[in-house]
Amino acid sequence: MSISIRKLHPVFVGEVQGVDCRRPLTQQEVAAIEAGMDEYAVLIFRDQNITDEEQIAFTRHFGELENYNTAGHIRKREDQRLGPGIADFSNLDKHGNIMSGEDRVWFFKLADRLWHSDSSFRPIPAKYSLLSGRTLPSWGGNTEFADMRAAYDALDERTRGEIEELVCKHSLIYSRHAIGFSKLTEDEVAAFRPVDQPLVRTHPTTGRRSLFLSSHAGAILGWTIPEARLFLRDLTEFATQPQFVYSHVWRLHDLVMWDNRATMHRARRFDRNEVRDVRRTTLAGDGLTAQ
């Protein structure tokens, strides 16, 4: 079966046909999907009823799994519901019960509803993320994506020149503070010390430039905090205008794959009394981004 991709949005996002994500891919199939990622930055695979092991195996066709000692969502190892290699983005605890709205893990998760790029708070930010919809709520819970290449291309010359050499500080703590969640332990503060990321990045295979924004960004080197925060907020507002945004309405067993080097995304509201079980595999990035 040959792979075809149908564009779902004027500037990015493709829906892939002709791939069974449970099976090993040929080199040609891997190359076709990578070319699709370079062009569309977000790919949707429908009707992929996969296990965790199958999702991990599919992901590994495209690189090495991201592997950090500190989880992004402060779920302690002994509290985890899933095995290694796959991250639990559900609202369930390790026993499979819906977590309390006052659970710290829930507070941490809520900040994913701010625009961000996965692991931008890591020294080496993520390449692709793959999210599988295993159980979905009856309402809401869309995932929205914004094309940071198209946003960069649409900037005026003056702004482009202004941001060219800027470097931002990213930390998970900045995005949690943004929703008023600031009760972090000393260990968490130490684990999420800010890292440097350039505000403009160049894609390693396409050479396209993009805005490297994220709600994890909380400072710009050489700028005062208030000016930096306002400028980052302005840029984010610009970059997430409707012409750059696709809102994914989940269907059961969708597998959505995005390039964190070219996009931002955010989760949307749903009724937290309903189960939303989505699971993510993540590929390590290519190296340090700031020179």
Of 14 and 72, nearer to Mn ion (C-beta) is 72
Residues 11 and 210 sit within 8 Å (Cβ to Cβ): no
Question: Which region, judged by CB under 5 A, interacts with Mn ion, from 115-123, 159-167, 195-203, 268-276?
Answer: 115-123
CB of 126 to Mn ion, least distance (A): 9
- Least distance to Mn ion, CB of residue 38, Å: 21
Q: Is 254 in the site for Mn ion (CB under 5 A)?
A: no
Q: Which is nearer to Mn ion, 29 or 145 (CB)?
A: 145
Closer by beta carbon to Mn ion, 29 or else 112: 112
* Minimum CB–partner distance for residue 117 and Mn ion (Å): 8
Q: Is 66 in the site for Mn ion (CB under 5 A)?
A: no
Bridge partner residues of 207 (DSSP):
none
In angstroms, give the least distance from the CB of 264 to Mn ion.
9
d(CA 269, CA 247): 12
CB 247, CB 140: distance < 8 Å: no
Q: Least Å distance between CB 115 and Mn ion?
A: 10
Site string for Mn ion, 81-100 (x = CB under 5 A): --------------------
Window of 69-77, 116-124, 160-168, 224-232 that interacts with Mn ion by CB under 5 A: 116-124
Which of 29/118 has CB closer to Mn ion? Answer: 118
Total residues at interface with Mn ion (CB under 5 A):
1
Judged by beta carbon, residue 168 or residue 172, the one nearer Mn ion is 172
Which CB sits closer to Mn ion, 93 or 112?
112
The torsion of the CA quartet 124, 119, 103, 187, rounded to 10 degrees, works out to: 20
Nearest CB to Mn ion, comparing residues 169 and 265: 265
Q: Residue 118, interface with Mn ion (CB under 5 A)? A: yes
* Minimum distance, C-beta of residue 209 to Mn ion, in the bound complex (Å): 22
- Rounded Cα gap, residues 72 and 55, in angstroms: 19
State which residue has the least CB distance to Mn ion: 118
* Minimum separation from the CB atom of position 245 to Mn ion (A): 15
| Nearest CB to Mn ion, comparing residues 121 and 152 | 121
Q: How far is the CB of 27 from Mn ion (least distance, A)?
A: 29
Q: In this chain, which stretch among 113-121, 133-141, 164-172, 248-256 interacts with Mn ion, using CB under 5 A?
A: 113-121
How far is it, in rounded angstroms, from Cα 67 to Cα 113? 23
Residues that bind Mn ion (CB under 5 A): 118
